[in-house]
Amino acid sequence: MRNAVPYKRIALAWFAASYLLLINQTAGFAAIKDMSEYLPDDYLGTEFKWSMVLYLPDVKDCLNYPGTTLHPLTKVSVRFNQYPSAGKVESKPYEEFWYHKKSILGMRRRNQITLAASSNGAIILCPRNEDESSDCSSAITNALVRVLLDVQFQSAITSLVVVPDADFQAIAGALERYGFYSEDKLSNNLNELALSLRLRGYPQGAEKLLYLKK
């Protein structure tokens, strides 16, 4: 039990540092207006060490045949970008997730990645097509939570999660079902918090700070 107090002090210091980093890293992101095109890696590379991009490939014809019970499918692909130096980006596919309605069917890890401890990055959710169902929001939120935990397990920091304005409220609500709550729904006890994230909508810039309870 002698180590309990020092451990709590370290945990509180880490959380405070993460919170300050979240505030400082979001100011410049207001300059990004159109995320439907190829993401501006030149900007991301100046603010972050890495980014994860979650997008929805077109799979509407996949397993679409008479008698199928697995259609429609939703596929969430994750691309990992690393910024070793200014103006340079190294990109590779990271993971793929497959969903039927709101249930996950499977996943595939395309490549292993290593994040430096305490390195800060961003996760970007690309817009879905207007004709895609709300199931896509549920699927991409599930994939987002899995990626967030991957980052956490490597002791890296997700400074910002950027989502389309049209899906902002739906994703914020879905995250609450995974245990992420806004500040007004938490006590002042920092020891009950395991993870924090700043959710930012684009292009309008709505923001919400959420916390994952232990």
pLDDT digits (tens, 9 = 90+) for 31-89: 434 443 445 666 788 889 999 999 887 666 565 557 666 667 888 999 999 998 877 88
Look up residue 67 and give its two tokens: 């008698």
| Residue from 185, 194, 186, 192 nearest 149 by CA | 194
pLDDT of residue 49: 93
Q: Which residues pair with 123 in a beta bridge?
A: 52, 161
| Residue from 11, 34, 51 nearest 159 by CA | 51
Helix (H, G, I), strand (E, B), or coil: what is residue 2? Answer: coil
Look up residue 19 and give its two tokens: 């919170």
pLDDT of residue 12: 44
pLDDT of residue 59: 60
Q: Is there a contact between 16 and 157 (Cβ–Cβ < 8 Å)?
A: no
pLDDT band at 179; cut points 50, 70, 90: confident
CA distances from 57 to 18, 75, 127 (A): 33, 6, 11
Instruction: Kindly tell me the burial class for residue 83, based on how many C-beta atoms sit within 10 Å of its own C-beta (0-12, 13-18, 19 or more).
Output: buried
